[in-house]
Amino acid sequence: MDSKKMKKIRALVLFSGGLDSTLAVKVLEKQNIDVTGLAFVSYFFDDAKAKISADKNNIKMHSVDFSWMHCEMVKRPKRGYGSAMNPCIDCHLLMIREAGRIMCKEGFDFVATGEVLGQRPMSQNMRALKLIEKEAGLEGRLLRPLSAKLLEETSVEKEGLVDREKLLDISGRSRKRQFELVKELAINYYPTPSGGCLLTEIEFGKRLKKLWEEVEDPAFSDYELLKLGRHFWVDGAHIIIGRNERENIKLKELKGKSDIMIELEDLMGPAALVRNHDSRTVEEAKKLIAGYSRHAKNKNYHQLEYKISEG
C-alpha cells in the first residue's frame, strides 16, 4: 500500500507570522500536508506576531525560546553582521539547525521555510541558501516552497512527499506574486514586514556593543534594559534614564536587588536606574535626571531633593 495513504506527511515550517512564511504553510497545506509552524523567541525578538498570525490563519504553532544559544551566536557570528548588529546568515542557520533537531526528535518528515530566492541579498542568494542547507545538516530535507521550482530538486520532492509541480517559482524583491497569492490561498491576515528584530536597529546595536564591552556576562535583565530609556556608562556603572512614565515604571520592574532607583522627590521627571553604582555615579545620575526634567529647568541639581530606593 502507498505509505502516503497510511500516514499524513508532517512538515515543520519556520514561522515568523509574516506573509512569506504564512504562504509557505498554506502552499503545503494545500497538498494535504500536516504543517506545524515553528517560531523562535530570543532576547532580541519574540513570537508575538507569529502567535497572532497563527491564530488568525488557523495555523498550528510551536514556540522555542533559544535566547542563550542565539545570544552566543550574535556575539561571535561566523559570517559577520548586516548593516547593524544583525548576523542574518548565522541567525537563520541556527534556526534551521534547531528546526532540524526538532524534526528528528518529533518525527517530522522535513523542514520548510518561506525564503524567496533573491529577496534578501545577504541571506537569500543561491549560495547562501545552499550553504545554510548543508551546514544545518538538512541536505535534501529543507524545502523552500515559494522558490522550489527554481532550486535543485530536494529528496522530499524526489520521494514524492510533496508534489514539485504544485510548488512555486517566486524570486526577487517584488512582492507582487505573494500579494496575488493572499487571495488565492485565502490568507486572512499578515502583519506589516517592518520591525520585529531589534538587531536590525542601528541604535540598539550600539547599546548592545557597549554592554558587551562593559559587562562580561550580562544577565537577562541587562538585555531587557537595553530596550528602553537613555543609556550612560560611568566608571563601569550603567545609568538608564526613563523617557516617559511607561519607561519609569518598567525600570522599577527591572530593578535588581543591588540596583538603585533615583527619582525627584517633589517634582515630576524621569526616573533613573543605576546598576553597579557608587557615590560618584549616583551624583552623575542625579545630574542627568535634573538635566532631563522639564520641571527642574534652571535649577542646579544640588538644589533638588531626590528619592533613592535601594534593595
Q: Is 50 among the residues that bind ligand SF4 (CB under 6 A)?
A: no
Q: Which residue from 22, 57, 86, 147 is in contact with ligand SF4, where contact means CB under 6 A?
A: 86
**Nearer to ligand SF4 among residue 73 and residue 102 (C-beta):** 73
Q: Does 124 bind ligand SF4 (CB under 6 A)?
A: no
- Using CB under 6 A as the binding criterion, the count of chain residues that bind ligand SF4 stands at 9
Q: What are the Cα distances from residue 92, in Å, to 135, 170, 185, 253, 277?
A: 11, 20, 26, 32, 38
Supply 234's cell numbers. Answer: 560611568
CB 271 within 8 A of CB 252: yes
Task: Tell me: does residue 14 bind ligand SF4 (CB under 6 A).
Answer: no
Q: State the nearest-atom distance from the C-beta of 45 to ligand SF4, in Å.
A: 5
Q: Which residue from 115, 64, 118, 124 is spatially nearest to 89, judged by alpha carbons?
A: 124
**Smallest distance, ligand SF4 to C-beta of residue 38, A:** 13
Q: Binding ligand SF4 by CB under 6 A: which of 21, 57, 178, 200? A: 200
- The number of residues making up the chain comes to 311
CB closer to ligand SF4 out of 115 and 284: 115
Which DSSP state fits 81? -
Residue 170 or 199 having the CB closest to ligand SF4: 199
Under rule CB under 6 A, residue 110 binds ligand SF4: no
Virtual torsion, Cα 203, 204, 209, 214, nearest 10 deg:
110
Q: Would you say the C-alpha torsion 185, 189, 193, 197 has a positive or negative sign?
A: negative
**Minimum CB–partner distance for residue 92 and ligand SF4 (Å):** 5
Residues ≥6 apart with Cβ < 8 Å to 48: none
Neighbours of 176 (CB within 10 A): 9
Quick one: which of 182, 185, 197, 215 contacts ligand SF4 (CB under 6 A)? 197
> Could you tell me which stretch among 80-88, 184-192, 207-215, 233-241 binds ligand SF4 (CB under 6 A)?
80-88
| Residue 88 near ligand SF4 by CB under 6 A | yes
73 binds ligand SF4 (CB under 6 A): no
Report how far residue 16's alpha carbon sits from residue 10's, in angstroms, rounded to the nearest whole number.
Answer: 19
By CB under 6 A, tell whether 204 contacts ligand SF4: no
Smallest gap from residue 90 Cβ to ligand SF4 (A):
8
Q: Which residues touch 288 (CB under 8 Å, ≥6 apart)?
A: 230, 232, 239, 241, 272
- Does 199 participate in binding ligand SF4 (rule CB under 6 A)? yes
State the minimum distance, in angstroms, from the CB of residue 197 to ligand SF4.
Answer: 3
- Residue 92 contacts ligand SF4 per CB under 6 A: yes
Smaller CB distance to ligand SF4: residue 23 or 88?
Answer: 88
Cα 190 to Cα 27, 41, 52, 163: the distances in Å are 15, 19, 9, 26
Q: Note the residues at the interface with ligand SF4 (CB under 6 A).
A: 45, 86-88, 91-92, 197, 199-200
